[in-house]
Amino acid sequence: MIVVWASGGTPEGDFNTKLPEVVFHPQWKLGAPDLKIQMDAPHAVAQSAIEEVSDFSLPANVADTKWIKAADLMPGTASIVRDAVISIENGPVLALWQPGGDTTPAPSGAAFRLAPGSKIHLQIHYKKHFDQEQNAVSDRSTVGLYFTDPPPSGRELQSFSIDPPKAAGGSSGSGTLGSTFGGALPNAARIVALRPMLDRAYESVDVHAITASGADVPLLRLHGPRPQWFQRYWLQEPVELASGSKITVRVTPLSDYSDEPAVTRRLPLQVVLDYIPL
């Protein structure tokens, strides 16, 4: 069709013809949530601000213990909600949300525990579209929680964080040639997911487990990961590790950052393992 139009001299259409209006119909990726929690009030990104990160504490208002298999976000103003972190306040991360991303439930037998009186911590990264930069823009997003049956073990999903050592001046960094850092599991665990949070673009990120017998167990390898596209990686098959197993992380920065876009997201380098205690 385009070839015919081009070979015909690129004729213009009828300027009086009104194009059909495109209407955006947002939908929950896993269907209607079991619990919807809306922000208490609209939050305005001021006229003077183009980008910001804001935190919200949302009461869950559950009367008894619930087990969460997935969490999603319905932006109130989709044009400014760039990404979000949904977690239980002072507890585990439930979801890393980005527009168009998948909402993946925890595997069978794994769930996050939501106790009565708990609150949901919602952190939203806002950034205005170029045609909104001179205006104040408000958002009132909604968190959606999906419940499941209690896991047979009765044990909830927990997290183990691995941070690089602090560099001179108190900041964590990987240097220009890459680095290896790690930590030991505090208890026996069934690893079900990994969440690398990056401070910059990398050539590669490689995560392995070293067992007490010296066996090397690959957990995750990423080629060319970027900090603005963070996500949780659920393992196809859980990996069981004994207490004291060492987790090693090898990061290799890019050799050339000249073509990389500026990233203003505020995340330090960290790798988090989500696991079920054994």
Query: Which residues make Cβ contacts (< 8 Å) with residue 37, sequence separation at least 6?
Result: 58, 59, 60, 61, 120, 142, 143, 144, 145
Residues 47 and 66: their CA atoms lie apart, in Å, by: 40
List % helix, strand, coil for the chain (3-state, nearest 5): 5, 45, 50
Mind listing the pLDDT tens digit of every residue in the chain (278 residues)? 788 878 877 888 777 888 787 777 789 999 999 999 999 999 999 999 999 999 999 999 999 999 999 999 999 999 999 999 999 999 999 999 999 899 999 999 999 999 999 999 999 999 998 888 889 999 999 999 999 999 998 999 999 999 998 764 444 555 545 689 999 999 999 999 999 999 888 999 999 999 989 999 999 999 999 988 889 999 999 999 999 999 999 999 888 877 777 666 567 899 999 999 99
Provide the whole-model pTM: 0.86
Angle, vertex CA 266, rays to CA 261 and CA 272, nearest 5: 110
Residues 72 and 78: their CA atoms lie apart, in Å, by: 14
Tokens of 26: 């947002």
CA distances from 266 to 26, 54, 208, 241, 269 (A): 28, 12, 26, 32, 10
Residues 250 and 63: their CA atoms lie apart, in Å, by: 44
Query: Which residues make Cβ contacts (< 8 Å) with residue 112, sequence separation at least 6?
Result: 67, 68, 69, 88, 91, 92, 94, 106, 156, 157
Nearest to 151 by CA among 35, 3, 277: 277
> What pLDDT sits at residue 12?
82
Domains for the chain: give ranges and CATH numbers: 35-148 (2.60.120.230), 158-277 (2.60.120.230)
Amino acid (1-letter code) at residue 233: Y
Is residue 95 exposed (0-12), middle (13-18) or buried (19+ Cβ within 10 Å)?
A: buried
Residues 41 and 65: their CA atoms lie apart, in Å, by: 26
